[in-house]
Amino acid sequence: MLILIIIVSCFIAQSFLPWWIIGPICLIASFFVSSSKKQAFWSGFAGVFILWLVKILSLSLPNEHLLANKVGQVFKLPAADTNWIVMIFVSSLIGGVVGGLSSLTGNLLKK
C-alpha cells in the first residue's frame, strides 16, 4: 500500500517540482501509512527506486543509452558501451536511498 502511494504521489509531484520533493512525500506518506521501521524503509526505497528506474528506462532505451554511456565518462568511468548499466543503477539507487531514509524518518516520527 505505502509503496503504491509513494510511487503515484512522487510521480505526480516530480512532474512539476524539483527532485527533493520525494523527501517530504515519503516522510509524510510513511508518517500516516507505515506499519514498521523495516516496512517504511523498504517501501520508500523500492518505491522511488522503481519509479526512477522505470522513468530512466523510458528515456534511455529510445536513446539507445547513447547519453548514459557518455555521462559515465564524466564520472570517470572508462569509455565503454556498458556505462549505462552503472548510470541507471546509481541514479535509481540514490533516489531509493533518499526515499527509504525519508520514509524511515516518517515512521520514527509516528506515535
Angle between helices 22-33 and 2-14 (to 10 degrees): 150
CB-nearer residue toward another protein: 5 or 87: 87
The angle, 0 to 180 degrees and rounded to 10, between the axes of the packed helices 37-60 and 83-108 is 150
* Mask for 10-49, x = binds another protein (CB under 8 A): ----xx--xxx--x---x----------------------
What does the alpha-carbon distance between residue 24 and residue 26 come to, in Å, rounded to a whole number? 6
Q: Establish if 79 lies at the interface with another protein (CB under 8 A).
A: yes
85 forms part of the interface with another protein (CB under 8 A) = no
* 74 touches another protein by CB under 8 A: yes
Nearest in space to 5 (alpha carbons), one of 15, 17, 18, 31: 31
Site for another protein (CB under 8 A): which residue of 8, 50, 86, 97? 97
Which residue's CB is nearer to another protein, number 5 or number 30? 30
Chain length of the chain: 111
Q: Should residue 6 be labelled a site residue for another protein when binding is judged by CB under 8 A?
A: no
